[in-house]
A and B are shown apart, each in its own frame.
Chain A
Amino acid sequence: MDLPGFSLDMASLQESPRPDADETYDVLILGGGPASMSAAVYAARKLLKTAILTRDFGGQMLETSEIENWLGAQSIHAKDLISQFEEHVKSFEVPVLEGQSITGIKKEDDLFKITMDSGEVYTGKSVILTTGKRHRPLGVPGEKELGGKGVAYCATCDAPFFKDKRVAIAGGGNSAFTTALDLLKANARVSLINFIPGWQADEFIRQQVDKYEKSALYDNHQVVEIQGADKVEAVKIKDRSTGEEKTIEVDGVFVEIGLLPNSELVKGLVDMTDSGEVVVDCSCRTSLEGFFAAGDVTTVPHKQIIISAGEGAKAALSAYSYLVNKFQL
């Protein structure tokens, strides 16, 4: 593979101030994806006392390569777009706590208390939850045991290790087909395995995959087991219409079967759907006063960067209205 050149991420070279645990913030933003960063810019521009608590910047954008539907950029590297977002946020000197996980969220009187795994507690008059989603695992035997040993979830990271090899991809949507393309470009032989009948991916990307001869499609098939002693050796699949089982010898399995909302922390605190998405109204309000949510963690349809960014902006403006009414800010 050709070298990708030298990429300078100016945003990560800039340090942000650390949030102060003794301070009461107007708004605490939980998460670091496009919804979070957009909310931070809008909150900062309203001069709200804002802090971001996040594991990292970029969220799910960290797991993709080229982005071709961000308005104004016909094609941009995900990491470059994250860097631009991050620089924008950092230009307001918004305090950021990065790299820690949140362990507790509660509301006491009119204030929210956010506990971090270090034990530190941050206080806010309002909260915007933008914790996004994470990869849904297959939940089949062999998946956990062979994680990093052929079972992979990030094509842009791990595709180079499957050059000239055989790979199964679980999934039938756009991300499964994007993964297939990344692997086909590395000259891998790919088998796409789709649980539900009918491919969900856009026609445009399916046509790109069809151009390669080294792809096999298994529609309406279920992954039953991932086999291998120390690394992936085969995947067992089942035809869901006939019940017939089949073992395909592969060196890797990429899992692209959708996402789970990162909403466990607010279970019982706000209303959510059975699948765990936080219910919001069109002003990004949840069932709990002062607690807003935006982006992929919510019930807003169509999980897209541009939609998340828009939702984040809306959540910040809604939080601003709330603060003005409630606290006469």
Chain B
Amino acid sequence: MSMIDKKQKKQLKDLFQKLENDVNIIMFTQEFECRHCKTTREMLEEVSDLTDRVKLKVLDFVEDAAEAEKYGVDKIPATIVKGEKDYGIRFFGVPAGYEFTTLIEDILMVAKGVPGLAGDVLEEVGKIDEKVDLEVYISPTCPRCPKMVKAAHKLAMANNNITAAMIEAAEFPHLIQKYEVQGVPHTMITEEYGFVGQIDEKQLATEILVALGKKSPEESEFMHEHEHEHHHEHE
């Protein structure tokens, strides 16, 4: 059975006609596929069949362990959307529900080669000069989540120091437990600094700068949580 319906395929075909550059999608699965691995792979195959511009490469998490390490893939299903260059855009778990649109937006963004951020946002993002791995935990039925994932992906595209992953929470219960994810979108900036709720790109850049200690916690929208986490750490 087809993953994407006929009407959507037609809409995607039209959209993909505007792609000016190739987009490479790398997906990690394994020989005995988990249920969501299979779903993800089949969906990606259907998407890449709609245009010559989107090239899909399916790798095996076990057999291609070296590649997995290179891309920082430590769990599957993993999907990487890259151009000639790897911008650090990742999806762990299936980009289903509302996140399917995020995947498509990422393909369009990568093909364009620019994140489409306003000048003041780019300026704020440009101040991030340390490696940061963003993780945005979502549920596929959460209407505000795609905005948060998209913001993280845009920042990853705008700044080489940033990687940004969507994580479909239900597929990775150990991570839900570790970070006590009980509401989405839940964004982890570093191991200690996380927040719940959707914010815009500029505020996300500010939160990263606060997490890195480059900006005062007063500029954070979630300062009290930060203090709380900190406090917890020293207990």
Contacts and interface: CB of A to CB of B under 8 A. Distances in A.
A3 B170 CA distance: 10
Nearest to B151: A99
Contacts of A82: 143
A148 B183 contact: yes
Contacts of A90: none
Interface in B141-155: 141-147
A7 interface: yes
Interface stretch (B25-33, B51-59, B94-102): B94-102
Contacts of A154: 142, 144, 183
A3 B201 CA distance: 28
Contact of B180 (A1, A3, A145, A149): A149
Nearest to A150: B182
Contact of A10 (B4, B11, B98): B11
A160 B139 contact: yes
Taking residues whose C-beta sits less than 8 angstroms from the other chain, chain B's interface range is 35 or more
A8 B182 contact: no
Given A5-B97, A13-B105, A145-B228, A100 B200 contact: yes
Interface in A94-114: 99-100
Nearest to B194: A148
B96 A3 contact: yes
Contacts of B142: 154, 156-158
B183 A152 contact: yes
Nearest to B198: A56
Interface in B136-187: 139-147, 169-170, 176, 180-184, 186
Interface in A143-175: 144-145, 147-152, 154, 156-158, 160-162
A78 interface: yes
**Interface hub of B43, B139, B145 (most chain A Cβ within 10 A):** B139
Nearest to B95: A6
Contacts of B134: none
Contact of B97 (A4, A56, A58, A147): A4
Contacts of B12: 8
Interface string B71-89: 0000000000000000000
Contacts of A145: 224, 228
A79 interface: yes
Contacts of A150: 182
B126 interface: no
B232 interface: yes
A1 B200 contact: no
A58 B142 CA distance: 13
B183 A118 contact: no
Contacts of B147: 56
Contacts of B211: none
B128 interface: no
Contacts of A156: 141-143
Contacts of B140: 3-4
Nearest to A4: B97
A5 B146 CA distance: 15
Nearest to B105: A13
B62 interface: no
A158 B120 CA distance: 33
Interface string B191-235: 000011100110000000000000000000000110010001000
A12 interface: yes
Could you say which of A82, A145, A157 has the most chain B C-beta atoms within 10 Å of its C-beta? A157
Contacts of B39: 3
Nearest to A98: B200
Contacts of A13: 15, 101, 104-105, 108
B180 A9 contact: no
A79 B145 CA distance: 12
A2 B134 CA distance: 27
A115 interface: no
B143 A4 contact: no
Interface string A59-99: 00011010000000000001100100000000000000001
Contacts of A7: 97-98, 100-101
A145 B224 CA distance: 8
Contacts of A10: 11
A33 interface: no
A174 to B, nearest CB: 19
Contacts of B228: 145
B144 A158 contact: no
Contacts of A65: 141
30 contacts: A1-B170, A3-B140, A4-B97, A5-B96, A5-B97, A6-B4, A6-B97, A7-B100, A8-B4, A8-B100, A8-B104, A9-B98, A9-B101, A12-B146, A58-B143, A62-B144, A147-B183, A148-B196, A149-B180, A149-B183, A151-B183, A157-B144, A157-B184, A160-B139, A160-B141, A161-B176, A161-B181, A162-B182, A230-B180, A230-B232
Interface of A: 1, 3-10, 12-13, 56, 58, 62-63, 65, 78-79, 82, 99-100, 118, 144-145, 147-152, 154, 156-158, 160-162, 230-232, 252
Q: Sort A-B residue pairs by CB-CB distance and give the 9 closest, nearest first.
A: A148-B196, A157-B142, A6-B100, A4-B97, A148-B183, A9-B101, A62-B143, A99-B200, A8-B8
